[in-house]
Structure 1
């Protein structure tokens, strides 16, 4: 079993956080030792809850600014990272890239320490560059490509994402396509005979309406406004749109689209309640302009929701061939205005799409498949390191 130093985020909540926590927990369950290095301004030495022992599993690095999108470390963070790695002496470093300046320093640091370096590269994209947001994300890929070319392996979530990086100069043999995965036992269709606390809260707040759900950040790139405009135009009788999440546009959109058939749930930290929301939903809608591979989409699919998403990032690839309904990132409101009445009226169609969505997750996107692929990548790198040492 290997000792993995995992560099990532534990807050604020986002897909990167979910990916890091679920992956490290799964690796530990399989017998690996993981040390989680993350940005969190440490307390004064007298108040610290973690020690400086070599087996300390949690290391905090100081930061100046931290958001869901990027992190600006404090001036001493690089030194503390190096000292932590020297103390921990991991077999391998895995960086779930936090979009911070340290991402560019890691190749030199790990080369000096003689430790293999793996990255998971999360930033969303739209290979078609069909909007301003996609063009901005393309600049992120262009900025990162020279640094990623120096990592031993770069994990991406789809063939499309690998093609983008390969065109920007990252050698194909350094790219590993390992899609996100979810636990299909946790994220599963609800049992009608079971009433969990989360399920009870959901029904008390939402009543008996048929639920259409969005769950994610409320930000420009997620294009939630297009969904809200379509919902207002259609206003499907007997249905409720539930918007779960927070972000910079929440207040603006809530003020503009706060009618009676839209419920603004807000950010939800409780896992059982998030699962209950997915189980209560009949349809899940993700209208993003750019994406990576949405964990929320995979969670909804695993829960048996009929899923509608744009073809941004890898989401269209996930839903193709009948596992869901794929929209273009252009003209989302118009497409949804046509589609929402169909999903309202054709309950048999929604149920069949939900069944196919769960089948697709079981076939390709389980957490166990994801972890097995990561373990195989680790083993390959560690064998190469051993042979070179010999």
Structure 2
């Protein structure tokens, strides 16, 4: 355990005094660490011949061990002996060098390597990641929290608690009358983990009831809290394009910050129909893996926020390209930041958010105290904003001794069926 782990006020190791930038940083080891301090996380640790190491997140919620196998069997052996400074070349090797490329498993494995190498480079240079990206575009990062309830009244109260905590933006979800286990209704006030069983839990869905109920929630929220809070809502890919258009239009009087994931985005052209019928801002992309998943959505300005995230979209190296492309078309970032991403991804995302010129907002779901202990970090929350850390690299570490106390626990995400039994999008 480092001094910074035992004493949060202790200075971080200054690798730059020992290493500089002139000598290669030869990778000598790459190890996968699986731990479950409240939920499962997959972490890649890359070590070099000069003692500096970096860590990256490879978590794929409900399919964690598939990425573990990909890393152990196919990626880690490729890394040994390579120069850790050559981040771009390594990214191209792992992407172009895999004939069967793209997809959530491959891109999460690449993201873990990419983030670990950026972490190493930051430590070697004695600089936080935002400095390596080009410096800050802002001093703090606006985030949104998740407020939910089994009914409208509970959700309204939950939004009030987030406002009291200083949040300026809040995602609001509510239970739907007649439906059990509605999406987004968590089992605690600040923590929400949907992966809940070793085999998928089956839930029931009825879009017609949902469409009739959700506008009532936002009418109550505006009547209660006025126009100031930025309000968001997640449809979780459950509507047809026309249903999504109807919801967007019905929510226009309540001035949402965004309406997220209204329909499955494999069909990017579907958003043309939605765009024609509503001015409610649209966000999508937490399940995207490459720029090709969102190229048409961005180029045709069919969305307002791109939600691709570092761990899902191949790391900092590739997410920067998505963000730069989005900036050309006036699309802003809104990175996914649920608890299925470890603090490693959150810490890295905040450096990205501090730098990216076309920043929109950052999702922020609080991790459990056990998770925060396993992954000590130097980012912090202040009155509705996150403040990125200033330690070299991404500023997040892993306490391997503590991590070993939380073994892997099989957990899968639920599935959904319509009321007639048809399998639907969860």
Q: TM-score, normalised by structure 2?
A: 0.28
Q: TM-score, normalised by structure 1?
A: 0.30
